[in-house]
Amino acid sequence: MAALLPPRPAGRRAGSGIPVIALAAAVALLYYGRVFCVTVVVSVILAVLLEPLVVIGMRMRLPRPAASLLACLVALVGLYLVGFAAYTQILTLKADLPAYSARVNDLVDTFAGRVDEVEKHLVETFVPKRFREQEPAAPKPLPAARTKRRGPEPTVPPLVQEVHIRQEPKSIIVYLYGYLASLYNVLLMASFVPFLVYFMLSWRDHFRRSLLQVLDGGDRHIAGNTWRSITQVARAYVVGNFILGVILSLLSCAFFFFIGLPYWLIAGILSGFLSLVPYAGLPLAALPPLIDGLAVFNTISLFLLVASVVAGLHLLALNLLYPRVVGARLHLNPLAVTLSLMFWGTIWGGIGLVLAIPITAGVKATCDNVPGLQGYARLLGD
C-alpha cells in the first residue's frame, strides 16, 4: 500500500524550504546592496514628495519634463539655502569655540569640586572619627636572628623568557583606504539621487503605463490600486513629518530666541526635526539647545527649563499632532513599527531607522491590495 501512494508529501516537504531560502537571499541582498537600495528608496520618496510641484507646473501649461526639472531646481535651491544658513551658523560657532571650551572646563572643575565636597561630607558623616585620624602602622622590623645569613644564597635558575607572537597592527593606510572607499561609494550613489528623482518624475506616466500593459486585466487593476496606495502612504508620511518638523522647529526657535540662546535658529531647526526620530527623538532633540546653552546658562534651572520645554513639545507632537497628521493614514500597530525599526536599523544602520516606517507602510499598502496577502496586511495593521 505504501508503494502505491503518490509521493506528494515528500514533494511538499522538499519545496517547503524555498520561501526560507528566498527570504534569506532577499535579506542578504538588502544588506550587501544597502547603498544602492537606500539610494533608490530615498529617490522614490523625494520623487513622491515633489510630485505636487510637477502637477502645479503642468497646470501652468508646462510639459512634464520641464515641470519635473523646475521642481528639482526648486528643491535644490531650497536645500542650498538651508545648507548656506547652517554653514553660516557653523562658522560663527567655530569662532566662539574657545569661549565654549573655557565654559566647559569651568563646569567640569565646578562639578569635580562639588563631588569632592560631597565625598568629604559623606566621610565625615558615616566614618567614625577614630578611624579617620588613625595613621597606618609602620611595619615591624624582623628579628636579628632571622636577618643573619646562613651561607650563600641559593642561586635561582634564570627564567626562560616567554616568547609572545604579537600580531603587527594594521597600517594606517589600510584604515584610511577602507574609510575613503566607503565614503566614495556613498558619495557616488548620492550623486545619482538628483538624476534618479528627475527621471522618476519626468517618466512617471511612461513607467506606469508600461507596467500596467505587462499585466493582465485583473492583475492590472491590482497593480494600479497598489501604485496609488503606495504613493498616498509615502506622500502622507513624508509631507506629514515635514509639516510636524516645521511646526516643532518654529515653536523651538521662538522659545530659544526668547530665553536668549546665541544660536537659536540652528538649535531650533535641529531640535524640531530630531524630535521626529522614532524612540530616540526626545534625547536627540534636547542635545542641540543644551549644548548651545553651555556658554550662557549659569544655573541648573535654565537647563531643566529647556529640557522640560523640549520634552513637552515632543510629547505634544507624538500624542496629539502625529496621530492626526501621519498616523491616520498609515494604520500600523506598535509591534509592527518596533520590529520594522529593529530590522531596518540592523540592515541599513541609522538611515534604516528613518526609512523603516515608510517602507513598512508601503509593504502594508501592497498587501492590502493583493488578495493572497491581505492576511499579512491585517497582521501589520492596527
Residue 146 lies in a domain: no
Mean pLDDT of 72-100: 78
pLDDT at 2 over 50: no
pLDDT in tens, 217-239: 667 777 777 878 888 887 778 87
pLDDT in tens, 130-163: 666 555 555 555 555 544 455 555 555 555 555 5
Residues in the chain: 382
Report how far residue 207's alpha carbon sits from residue 295's, in angstroms, rounded to the nearest whole number: 55
pLDDT at 339 over 60: yes
Percent of the chain surpassing pLDDT 70: 76
Residue 180 lies in a domain: no
Residue 266 lies in a domain: no
What confidence score (pLDDT) does residue 1 get? 43
Q: What is the secondary structure of 300-342 as a DSSP string?
A: HHHHHHHHHHHHHHHHHIIIIIHIIIIIHHH-B-HHHHHHHHH
Q: What is the secondary structure of 186-220 as a DSSP string?
A: HHHHHHTHHHHHHHHHHTHHHHHHHHHHHS-HHHH
Sequence-distant (≥ 6) Cβ neighbours of residue 280 within 8 angstroms:
353
Residue 44 lies in a domain: yes
pLDDT in tens, 315-332: 888 777 777 667 666 778
What confidence score (pLDDT) does residue 179 get? 66
* Percent helix, strand and coil across the chain, each to the nearest 5: 80, 0, 20
Report how far residue 43's alpha carbon sits from residue 27's, in angstroms, rounded to the nearest whole number: 21
pLDDT in tens, 275-303: 887 777 888 888 888 887 777 777 777 88
Q: Kindly state the DSSP code that residue 381 receives in the 8-state scheme.
A: B
Residue 64 lies in a domain: yes
Mean pLDDT of 187-216: 82
Sequence-distant (≥ 6) Cβ neighbours of residue 197 within 8 angstroms:
43, 46, 47, 50, 72, 75
Residue 67 lies in a domain: yes
What confidence score (pLDDT) does residue 217 get? 66
Element (H, E) at 171: none
Per the structure, the count of domains in the chain is 1
Mean pLDDT of the chain: 76
Residue 57 lies in a domain: yes
pLDDT in tens, 259-276: 888 878 888 888 888 888
Residue 183 lies in a domain: no
Q: Give me the sign of the Cα torsion angle 348, 349, 355, 356.
A: positive
Instruction: Report the interhelical angle of 34-59 vs 172-191 (nearest 10°).
Output: 30
Is residue 330 within 8 Å of residue 357, measured between CB atoms? Answer: yes
Sequence-distant (≥ 6) Cβ neighbours of residue 32 within 8 angstroms:
none
Give the domain extent around 95: 31-131+192-214
Is residue 291 within 8 Å of residue 307, measured between CB atoms? Answer: no
Report how far residue 378's alpha carbon sits from residue 368's, in angstroms, rounded to the nearest whole number: 8
